Chain A
Amino acid sequence: MGVADVIIAGVIVAGACYILYATLWKKKGCCGCEGGSCCKK
């Protein structure tokens, strides 16, 4: 595995972690209520 592979892998992992952070933590997921807004404060 070369340096380029490590960088690409790092970017992909960081992107996946960001998606998790944005959807689970920041947006608190989509909780499936009618209109999808019941979990928003």
Chain B
Amino acid sequence: MSTQLKHKDEELDAEVSGHSAAARTITVAVAGNPNSGKSTLINAIAGTRLHVGNWAGVTVEKKEAFFEFGGRKIRLVDLPGTYSLSPYSQEEIVARDYLVHERPDLIINVVDATNLERNLYLTVQIMELGIPVVMALNIYDEAAEKGYRIDDKAMEEMLGIAVVPTSATKKTGLDELLATALRVADTPKQRAPKKLNYGEDIEVACDYLAKSFRSSYPALIDHYPQRWLLLKLMEQDSHVMKELGLDNLDFLDQALHHLRRAHGEDIESIMADARYSLASGLTHEVLHKPELRQTELTERIDKVVLNRFLGIPIFMGAMWLLFKLTFDLSAPFGKWIGAMTDGPFKRWASAILTPLGAPDWTVSLVNDGVIAGVGSVLVFVPVIFAMMFFITFLEGSGYMARAAFVMDRTMHSIGLHGKSFIPMLLGFGCNVPGIYATRTLENPKDKVLTALLVPLMSCGARLPVYVLFVGIFFPKNSSTVIWSLYIMGILLAVGMGLVFKQTLFRGEAPMFIMELPPYRMPSLHSLCVHTWEKGKHFLFKAGTYIFAVSVLVWFLLNLPWGVEHKRDSYLGQAGAAIAPIFQPVGFGNWEAASSLITGVIAKEIVVGTMGEIYAPKKDEKKDVPTLQEDLKEVATSFGAACVTAAKTLLYLPQAEEKEEDQGGLKVAILGAFTPLSAYAFMAFVLLYMPCVVAIAAMRQEFGTWKWAGVGLFYQTALAWTAALIIYQGGRLLGLGG
């Protein structure tokens, strides 16, 4: 009866608000633990309406979406994923400051139903703010599959907040969540979360503080959420104390002295205990697990992959499999793009430009500069996207967190924690986000050391260089050779870490708790979205600075005007000037040296420049196909590429490959390198100075050129030394010259 009356009141209240309520935009903040499915939930709700930016003054990503639901305008603000609202990391400070100062109309607290107790710790802290909360009990389907029964009605009763079971991956419960959010936002007074009891001692101290504080600082207590402010004062939160300009409050010292004496612990532990007790008690009340719980799949898999002896070999094996799948599946599409850029695209460009009366040199600029340069890089787009897809799969499945865990012991040997391996793993995609990811590490020393090691991880931009050389010199063992380069990067990172630990960064590695999310099968949609997010910047690069560099390289290869041999061009002369440096490491030719110069801008430009340097001369005698024949060729060769990839995936036998027409680039590289010098060249490209964007990222992240300079110098020295050891060592072992 009372519930019915309450609902009537709420409806009346909403009606009175009338049009003004319907017209205003409701601001909803979304908060939750990392891995609680928060991002998936927001993507499922907002989709393409999501705008990505940064929180003011910091480099923490901010996602926002404006949309309408039930005729109401909603502004959804995604807060950084945090475990608590304590001011230890930038993410926590950003989330907390937003909630305290911006006061959204409502908070949607995303809670992982399979990990209830840990997630409720944040819920308890959010409730301290007094802002209406709706709990999205997410991953509810997995919890149900595990046999968990969660009494969400009891939870609503105990916390005084609405609880809506959801599954962001299956997109269930989302409409109900938004409808509940609107209802709660319209009746905020009735929906304020319950004041949770933190135990008699804390509550008495809180009351005493409230009275004393109100008489001394009446303006402050009205300006901030009262209970939150009092609890923060008790915790002596330095961030809050500084913001309020408070120091040495006698009444606070008295209250804390009493608490410390009563508990025999420091205040931080007392408060954390109180919150954990609430989270734990609540979990016991509402969560019913099956009594005879079988060993779960996650535990069974972890027994093997986290095994002390098997962990690292399994990680290496997983990496090898990743490369194998990547190259086998993407190779037919790469060949298809190569054939298109070499044939039809160049012919079409000439067919358009020549009738327009364009000078011959502009036709050459487009064909031998832009199409040869950008095309040489575009050939590797399938391989990059395939690799990003499999890396995303490993991340989404939960295995990448295990990889960091198994590397923990190794990382400790170089004075770092396994957590530092995560930016390194990100570096496999692109070094730049890997460098930015170091901000998740708490210790400034760890940040710098990790950022210096991240560029040794082989990013996707190096892949075109490997694939080109491996395809020419090691076609039968392509994935193994490329895998060896990735492992070389990891081993050298460990080695350099040891050197840095003994010199620039002395000290012990701090201890952290590393989270191991349960294994999950990522949805195809989320895999595709994240693959696109990771891979799209390669397309961006191809369309912008690789395009621009291709144009400039063409000019540098053709100036002074009318130059007969490319060797005598400006780029050729620059390459020839530094080529002797590379003589001892096996590639002392001007072509390789010139490519390495332009490759500083982005590593894939090494291939683009080689494409331009070795661009074949026009063969006038060849019959030129018609446009119709070209289009037919484009379609049939794409179909053939799809069939080959599908056969590879299904392990079906494939027709013997025809002897390939050796393109000009391949022939030229075969003439300029041996297998040994090709391997030394790939190792050099892996290790030599980071690209300009990575250097800029280091400068931006650490506010000084010093560490970018250290990285640039040590990596180039390391690259030359490694290439020398490979080449000269190989010669000594009789592996060729």
The residues of A with any CB-CB pair to B shorter than 8 Å are: 1, 5, 8-9, 12-13, 15-17, 19-20, 22-24, 28-41
Interface size on B, as a range, is 35 or more
Instruction: Report the nearest A residue to B561, measured CB to CB.
Output: A1
Complex alpha-carbon distance, A22 and B548, angstroms: 11
Contact B530 A34 (CB under 8 A): yes
Instruction: Report the nearest A residue to B547, measured CB to CB.
Output: A19
Given contact pairs A8-B359, A29-B692, a sample of 14 additional A-B residue pairs in the complex whose CB atoms are under 8 Å apart: A16-B551, A19-B548, A20-B545, A20-B549, A29-B432, A29-B693, A31-B432, A31-B697, A32-B537, A32-B538, A36-B537, A37-B61, A38-B54, A41-B54
Asked if B502 lies at the interface with its beta carbon under 8 angstroms from chain A, I say no
From A13, A22, A33, A34, contact of B432 by CB (8 A): A33
Question: Please, which residues of chain A bring their CB within 8 A of the CB of B540?
Answer: 30
Known: A24-B692, A31-B537, A32-B429. A38 touches B436 (CB 8 A): yes
Question: Please, which residues of chain A bring their CB within 8 A of the CB of B362?
Answer: 8
Asked if B433 lies at the interface with its beta carbon under 8 angstroms from chain A, I say yes
Q: Is the interface of B mostly helix, strand, loop or mixed?
A: helix
Asked if B149 lies at the interface with its beta carbon under 8 angstroms from chain A, I say no
Question: Please, which residues of chain A bring their CB within 8 A of the CB of B544?
Answer: 19, 22-23
Complex alpha-carbon distance, A16 and B561, angstroms: 19
Instruction: Report the nearest A residue to B692, measured CB to CB.
Output: A24
Asked if B534 lies at the interface with its beta carbon under 8 angstroms from chain A, I say yes
Complex alpha-carbon distance, A34 and B80, angstroms: 13
From A13, A22, A34, contact of B61 by CB (8 A): A34
> What's the count of A-B pairs with C-beta under 8 Å?
109
Question: Please, which residues of chain B bring their CB within 8 A of the CB of A17?
Answer: 548, 552
Contact B53 A31 (CB under 8 A): no
Asked if B52 lies at the interface with its beta carbon under 8 angstroms from chain A, I say yes
> What's the nearest-Cβ distance from chain A to residue B540, in Å?
5
From A5, A13, A38, contact of B555 by CB (8 A): A13
Complex alpha-carbon distance, A32 and B388, angstroms: 11
Question: Please, which residues of chain B bring their CB within 8 A of the CB of A37?
Answer: 52-54, 61
Complex alpha-carbon distance, A15 and B549, angstroms: 11
> What's the nearest-Cβ distance from chain A to residue B151, in Å?
36
Contact B601 A24 (CB under 8 A): yes
Contact B432 A16 (CB under 8 A): no
> What's the nearest-Cβ distance from chain A to residue B422, in Å?
14
Instruction: Report the nearest B residue to A36, measured CB to CB.
Output: B537
Asked if B337 lies at the interface with its beta carbon under 8 angstroms from chain A, I say no
Question: Please, which residues of chain A bring their CB within 8 A of the CB of B548?
Answer: 15-17, 19-20, 23
Contact B365 A12 (CB under 8 A): yes
Instruction: Report the nearest B residue to A25, measured CB to CB.
Output: B696
Contact B601 A34 (CB under 8 A): no
Complex alpha-carbon distance, A24 and B549, angstroms: 11
Asked if B291 lies at the interface with its beta carbon under 8 angstroms from chain A, I say no
From B361, B545, B601, B693, contact of A31 by CB (8 A): B693
Contact B52 A39 (CB under 8 A): no
Closest 10 CB pairs of A and B: A35-B52, A31-B432, A32-B430, A29-B693, A19-B548, A32-B537, A30-B537, A16-B548, A33-B433, A16-B551
From B52, B552, B693, B696, contact of A16 by CB (8 A): B552
> What's the nearest-Cβ distance from chain A to residue B609, in Å?
14
Question: Please, which residues of chain B bring their CB within 8 A of the CB of A23?
Answer: 544-545, 548
Asked if B200 lies at the interface with its beta carbon under 8 angstroms from chain A, I say no
Complex alpha-carbon distance, A41 and B361, angstroms: 42
Known: A12-B551, A20-B548, A23-B544. A32 touches B52 (CB 8 A): no
15 A–B contacts, CB within 8 A, in A order? A13-B551, A16-B549, A16-B552, A17-B552, A20-B601, A24-B545, A29-B693, A30-B537, A30-B540, A32-B429, A37-B54, A38-B59, A39-B697, A40-B53, A40-B54
Asked if B523 lies at the interface with its beta carbon under 8 angstroms from chain A, I say no
Question: Please, which residues of chain B bring their CB within 8 A of the CB of A40?
Answer: 53-54, 59
Complex alpha-carbon distance, A13 and B551, angstroms: 7
Contact A31 B692 (CB under 8 A): no
Known: A32-B430, A33-B61. A39 touches B436 (CB 8 A): yes
Instruction: Report the nearest A residue to B551, measured CB to CB.
Output: A16
Chain B 367-384 near chain A by CB (<8 Å), digits 1 or 0: 000000000000000000
Instruction: Report the nearest A residue to B426, measured CB to CB.
Output: A33
